[in-house]
Structure 1
Amino acid sequence: MKKHIIALLAAATVLTPVAVQAKTTPQELRRDVREIREEKQDLRQAKRYGTRAEIRDARSEVREARQEYREDKQDYRRQVNRANYRAARFNAPFRYNSWNTGVRMSSQYYGSRYIVNNHASQRLPAPGYNQRYIRHYNDLLLVNIRSGHVVRVYRGFYW
């Protein structure tokens, strides 16, 4: 009886799937793009020289490669977003305002805790002299910190 229980427990641990969260990297995304190109090239060749079944298989492989790329890209965006904003608290102690270009805002809205320093990783142009990117809830504002005027507004930048 003991042997059967031990055998069942061993089988259960071997057969139980382990949930592993794989981290997506930019290198993996580039690899996926290369795979899509190769699959498209195979599809072109199948269209020239292949049978209908080969063409159908090549199309399904291209479709699967594209789907995998979309999923990996979405995972990567989620990881980057979590990593950049995990520790910071961007919910301001004041209510949400919808800012427009040219409006003057008080200095409490662009304090040091709301400044976004990683503009290059967000694919934003470098701010000019005396300008800073400020996060206000899900909006991103380019503010002239000397005068307090809003230079540019990116609404819904952080979804």
Structure 2
Amino acid sequence: MRKFVLTALMAAVAMPAVAIPTVASAQSQREVRESRRDLREERRELRQAQRFGDRRDVRREARDVRQAQRELRRDVNDRNRRWARNDWRDYRNGNRALYARGNWRAPFRYNQFRAGTRIAPTYYGQRYWINDPWRYRLPPVARNQRWVRHYNDVILVDYRRGRVVDVIRGFYW
């Protein structure tokens, strides 16, 4: 009965994603960990069915393990997807709460940075780093670069040299 209820809930959650293929959900590290945990649980249930169940139970549990493996693979691939420069625009319109991070103020004045300028380390300190750029659909960074929040803008900084590589203005609401 528990399996039936879980399957029905998963189908209800997955239906909107199937109906609207253009909307992709961001997979966080937490969701990938949950998928791994579900896979371990399904494997444990398969071992129990192999010990104490009949062939029908074993087939059902093996199918559940394969489904959990596919879901984990899909979650990991989605999390590791390489986003392009402007992929965040359409996603932001559908997920306003993710980009509305409150009234953010820094201990320094707002400056409109341009690509190629050199900035002081106080502007791109570790406390301003965006640690999960894939969540916001930002493109991946090269070596020694980080996405940094500067008020409502997002700046790509080469943190070894202090150079601004890219600026996205008005990123946050």
TM-score when scaled to structure 1? 0.50
TM-score when scaled to structure 2? 0.46
Q: Which has the larger radius of gyration?
A: 1
| Bigger relative contact order (CA 8 A; separation at least 6) | 2
